[in-house]
Chains A and B, each alone.
Chain A
Amino acid sequence: MPVLRVAKKRGEDGKEQVEASEVVNLPRWEANEAFSVVGKGLPRVEGAEKVTGRAVYAYDVRLPGQLYARVLRSPHPHARIRRIDTSRAAALPGVRAVLSSADETGITWYQEECPLFDTTLRLVGDEVAAVAADSEEIADDALRLIEVEYEPLPFVRALTAAQRPDAPKIHAGGNVAGEPQEYARGNVEAGFRQAEVIIDEEYTTATAMHNALEPHGGTAMWEGGRLTLWCSTQSVFDVREQVAQKLGVPAHRVRVIKQFMGGGFGAKQVAWKQDVIAALLARRSGRPVQLMLDRHAENLVAGTRNATQQRVRLGAKRDGTLTAIEAEIALETGAYQVGGEASNVAGVYQELYRCANVRTEQTAFYTNYGPTVAFRAPGYVEGAFALETAMDQLARELGMDPLDLRLKNYAGEDQQGGKPYTLPEGLRACYDRATGVFGWRGYRKPPAEGTKRRGVGLAASSWMGGSGHPPGYAWVKLNGDGSADVVTGTQDIGTGTRTGLTQVAAEELGFPMERVTLHLGDTGNGPYSPVSSGSATQPTIGPAIRAAALDAKRQLLEVAAELLDASPEVLSVRDGKIEIAGKPGEGVPVEKITGQIAPHMILGQGARGANPEDKTIRTFGAQCAEVEVDTATGEVTVLRVVASADCGRIINPTMVESQMVGGVTQGFGFALMEERVRDGRYGMPLNANLEEYKVPTVADIPRIEHAAVGIPDLEANPTGAKGVGEPPLIPTAPAIANAIYDAVGVRLYETPFNRRRLLEALAARGRAGDEGIRVASAATLEEAIGLLGRDGDGAIRPLAGGTDLLTLIKGDLVAPSRLIDIKRVPELASGIAEGDGGVTIGGADAALGDRDEHADPRAIHRADRGGGTGGDAATAEHGDDRWESAPATALLVFPQPVLPVLAEGGRGVPGARGGESAARDLRHEPVRGDAPVRPGDGAGGAGCAGAPARGGRGAGGAAGRVLRAADGGASHRDDAGRWGDRDGGRVARECRGDAEHLREGDGPEGVGVRAGRRGGGTAGGGRAHRRRAPGAGGRRAGAGAGRGGGARVGGCRAG
């Protein structure tokens, strides 16, 4: 029975605070403890519900009279609403309630306390109005009847742009979100003076989107003044508190239920607007209302991982001893601060290595995009990519094995708090296990095969989570039939919580698993438990359940002692029987005891005690990766990943392995595939869906092995188990990046590592010579021509604009030497321009320059809601235009004449009018041989043209599928209307690699500086390529033709 201790204390600010914690007398499960169910890889206890479709997720709630709500969202990244009229929507038959900024809800949202329906909109997707109707279709119809006049405002298009002094202000206080976080120990400058080797690099990580398969949302029902909310959430209690507070009702009048959830990955740990909107619509209509986001909205407004820029400096002695670590970090917050688990990018720099001199500075900036939120190990994933890549670079500089460098700087204690770790050798065990299973020390690189090179990489991680977040509570009820109900307020977010916690209860009770039922996910039934984030659920609630079970068992044995005429001290429970010491095999079934006292019952009560004060709990990890890189194509194939994590005692090896493998899979996506692409000109995310935002598929993933550590961390809590949800995602990207370096000798400083980035890096290192690609910016055509200059005795000739250039580089057909940004050249702004010498300069973006008159972002936005009902051809055409907005802002210049193979094509220089597809055709056979079809090779166009319309909405999806199939190259559509496959996830992935344009806005700064530094043109992207059929025209073929041809292909998607 836990004892609550409460004390008053005066805080640093002089205010009185109450400190409370439970004292729980729970003996440790020692390292050599003998278990009957703990440690077994039992199957998931809820398996049958999940494989039969009986598991009811928030999305699946169906109540009598239930309405469905949809939300009208801002088409602008920054705008004011001048006028809104919802009367036509409200009058549509079947519409039961409408909400907009015209309604004074008095509710504010986000940490900036903006109105729930604000008249200032700060991102594409911001809530404008909401409708509840008898069906989703009617609600969608109603949204189209809402009239809104917007006044677009200047907006902040990227993290780089947010930091400029003249950037538009998103909130009154400017664009710095929250307080910059600074940390320092020792003297970092002195540390660098001591250093004999200094690494100084900049890293960038992309915005990754969670894409949990179940979207955010829920179903709200009022009964009298009481609200029940079935919510897809990681924290029923936090949602209850927040929703009650927003609605102005006491928390006890709100009940939040979450039985099953289709993934959260950090993004579902707070209440979101839609939860309260559903409740308001339900109150207004007097009916239950379900409001689940669609996939598009899910990716626009419901949180993403923050993009980062990190400048990292490491100083070391020749023997590898780190003398200084410094990191200056900028991260993108999006338009609002959501709260919840913070993104601590700086954390890993502060704790992973022993170093006396460390300084970190982390500043968050607003931009006009969706808010960021915790995403599985928030901050540490981004930070570890940079730090662990830099460490690998340092090891190479020093000529050390990267493993030895890490061991040399091993940190066995918390250098921030000056406390030892609870398991100081945890990280060392991870190194041993991961490298041992992988065969790191004995690895011999196989000889190169053709253009393919292999390499291996290592990375480590620390994580501030996995420790447990007290308080947390549980009850155990022992029933007359010898079964037990365990009740707690936590939630299973898909990680295996139900199973792991049931094992803990069964073990402590001495009951068989099937006699123990766990109840969770309901604020109306269970005692408080904290949010399921920070890998905290098992280490928080496991000990609480153990304590409750122990309390129940103690009472059971007292009753049994009375009924069996024995002393409780000689009794124990084993496999559902009460055994008397010295008389094995003569146990009395528990139900014989509990049955005799029924309906009286035994209730056990448990709590999670405080974490240790004198020690710091961390979860460490290490991973090794082997990759094969094709230097001709830039394709990276990850062959295998071996992952270890210090997660303490392993309660269920099957669940832990699934967490490890799943985490590495997401890390693999972060490393190689996942990136939100946005149109910097219109401030619109372009791939807010699962078609163009590539998450790993079954065909993508490498072989992933879990090298289990499993050392009980008995200082952390009495079960010895820590969390493992987040750690496996952290070291994957740097392990892959380091393996790529090992294979081909180039560093990647930007995630994801797609073909473009790799080819740029290869080009900069190798064929362009030592100086790499030089970058310049021209303001006039004359200046541009002047910048071409001369190179030795041959004239430098213009070759291609950004998009064409990329395909040429990827085909290994050109070796660029100069990149000239001509976006500001007015003569080129309209598209095609003649250069001298008869060479046509393709370059400045034709479609972009020519499209303003057509560019109604609202139309684009509507069309982009692919998969919605209906849609009309006109908007689809505009919708397609967004694919044409990829700006080819750069002109690459080459030191040699155009390669003969291209010149002989008879179509002129690639990039010249109409020559592009010919060039591509030529490129294929000789360069690629029998390699998979590449994006843009035409399968998409051909397939799309042949796709039968399946009704307005069907065609939209079908065409999307075609395009996706085209990515895969070898896919086809069978009679049943199902796409055969996405053959070669590798190919699917590389398409993602092509979707690069405008990742940091369309400013030349973002493009040129990075390009110059790393080598390679970054302007432009291949997005348009994969959307074009060969010969169907294309952007380069003239603005008008480009739109016509391109629109036809892409238009299928939304049409």
Chain B
Amino acid sequence: MEVRFTLNGAERVLAVEPRRTLLDALRHDVQLTGTKKVCDMGDCGACTVLVDGRAVYSCLTLVVDCAGREVTTIEGLGEGGELDPVQRAFIEADAFQCGFCTPGQIMSLRGLLNEHPAASDEQIVRAVSGNLCRCGAYQNIVRAGRLAAGRA
């Protein structure tokens, strides 16, 4: 079936099976592979994207549910070739090692900061508590959140 939505600011129309998740649609149908598949069941947060500005697990979201909505992926962050402040903060704070969870972590924090631009540590921890990082970069992820929230 056909689904029409906004992806990173541009209108997209995709012909998909109803069972296609947003994650698979992103990774296969539009080949935006920055959004990662890890658990495919809502346990790890690596597939986090923004739908209408809020962080969601794209592996638990069917793409047909995104009709008429605005989807933002890691590839859609930043403007005019500049990195988003969250992306810059991740580099500055060394908030990743292998980098596989990083897009999801960044999108979770982007979602938080959209609502709470000066988020507290508690809010930051809460926002990424559904994002696993097996390399163990958590301390620096919180630090990056603090930087992006302008509190460092």
If A53-B103, A494-B135, A869-B19 touch, whether A978 touches B36 (CB-CB below 8 Å) is: no
With A262-B100, A263-B100, A978-B54 as contacts: A51 and B43 at CB distance below 8 Å = no
Taking the closest CB of chain B, its distance from the CB of A69, in whole angstroms, is 14
Q: Does A18 contact B (CB under 8 A)?
A: no
0 or 1 for each of A974-1011: is its CB under 8 Å from B? (1 = yes): 11111111110100000000000000000000000000
Within 8 A of B (CB), among A632-670: 654-655, 657-659, 661-666
Contact with A along B50-77 (1 / 0, CB 8 A): 0110111101111001000000011101
Q: Quick one: closest A residue to B102, CB to CB?
A: A50
Give the residues in chain B near A496, CB-CB below 8 Å.
97
Given contacts A53-B73, A263-B100, contact A961 B60 (CB under 8 A): yes
Q: Given the complex, which residues of A lie within 8 Å of B137, measured CB to CB?
A: 658, 661-662
Asked if B128 contacts A698 (CB within 8 A), the reply is yes
Q: CB distance A213 to B73 under 8 Å?
A: no
For the complex, what is the distance from the CA of A215 to the CA of B100, rounded to whole Å?
11
Q: Which residues from 944 to 962 on chain A have a C-beta closer than 8 Å to any C-beta of chain B?
A: 950-954, 956-958, 960-961
Min C-beta distance of A842 to chain B, whole Å: 33
The contact size tier of chain A is 35 or more
Say yes or no: is B126 at the interface (Cβ < 8 Å to chain A): yes
A62 within 8 A of B: yes
Interface string of B102-129 (1 = CB under 8 A from A): 1100100000000000000000011111
B18 touches A212 (CB 8 A): no
Selected interface stretch from A40-48, A153-161, A412-420, A931-939 = A40-48
Which residue of chain B has the shortest Cβ distance to A294 in the bound complex?
A: B40
Contact of B138 among A57, A137, A665 (CB under 8 A): A665
- In the complex formed, the residue of B with least CB distance to A654 is B94
B38 touches A701 (CB 8 A): no
> Residue A119 at the B interface, CB < 8 A?
no
* In contact, A263 and B98 (Cβ under 8 angstroms): yes
Residues of chain B contacted by A210 (CB below 8 angstroms): 134
B140 beta carbon closer than 8 Å to chain A: yes
The answer, yes or no, to whether B15 is at the interface (CB within 8 Å) is: no
Contact A211 B129 (CB under 8 A): no
Asked whether A711 is an interface residue with its Cβ less than 8 Å from the other chain, the reply is no
Contacts of B27 in A (CB 8 A): 60
Instruction: Assess whether A107 is interfacial by the CB under 8 Å rule.
Output: no
A299–B103 alpha-carbon span in the complex (Å): 23
Interface bits A482-524 vs B (CB < 8 Å: 1, else 0): 0000000000011110000000000000000000000000000
Query: Residue among B126, B127, B134, B138 with the most chain A CB within 10 A?
Result: B134
In the complex, what residues of B have CB within 8 A of residue A982's CB?
129-130
Known: A56-B33, A977-B61. A690 touches B132 (CB 8 A): yes
In the complex the two chains form, is B94's CB within 8 Å of A957's CB? no
In chain A, positions 26-80 with a C-beta closer than 8 Å to chain B are 43-44, 46-57, 59-60, 62
Question: Given contacts A53-B35, A982-B130, is CB(A662)–CB(B136) below 8 Å?
Answer: yes
Indicate whether A951 sits within 8 Å of B135 (C-beta atoms), given known contacts A55-B99, A691-B43.
no
Q: Which residues of A contact B33 (CB under 8 A)?
A: 53, 56-57, 59-60, 62
* Structural contact, B62 and A295, CB atoms closer than 8 A: no
Do residues A262 and B99 form an inter-chain contact, with CB atoms below 8 A? yes
**How far apart sit A51 and B73, CA to CA, in the bound complex (Å)?**
12
Across the A-B interface, the 8 shortest Cβ-Cβ residue pairs: A53-B34, A494-B98, A665-B136, A262-B100, A50-B99, A662-B136, A867-B41, A60-B33
Q: Can you list 16 A-B pairs with a CB-CB distance of less than 8 A?
A: A51-B87, A51-B103, A52-B74, A57-B100, A59-B36, A262-B100, A295-B39, A494-B99, A494-B100, A495-B97, A658-B140, A662-B136, A698-B131, A956-B41, A960-B41, A976-B52
Chain A contacts to B: CB under 8 angstroms: 43-44, 46-57, 59-60, 62, 135-137, 210-215, 260-263, 265, 294-295, 493-496, 654-655, 657-659, 661-666, 689-691, 695-699, 701, 703-704, 866-867, 869-870, 950-954, 956-958, 960-961, 964, 974-983, 985
Q: Besides A52-B87, A953-B21, A960-B43, 15 other CB < 8 A contacts?
A: A51-B103, A53-B35, A53-B103, A135-B28, A493-B98, A658-B94, A661-B140, A663-B136, A696-B136, A701-B139, A866-B41, A954-B62, A957-B59, A976-B55, A978-B56
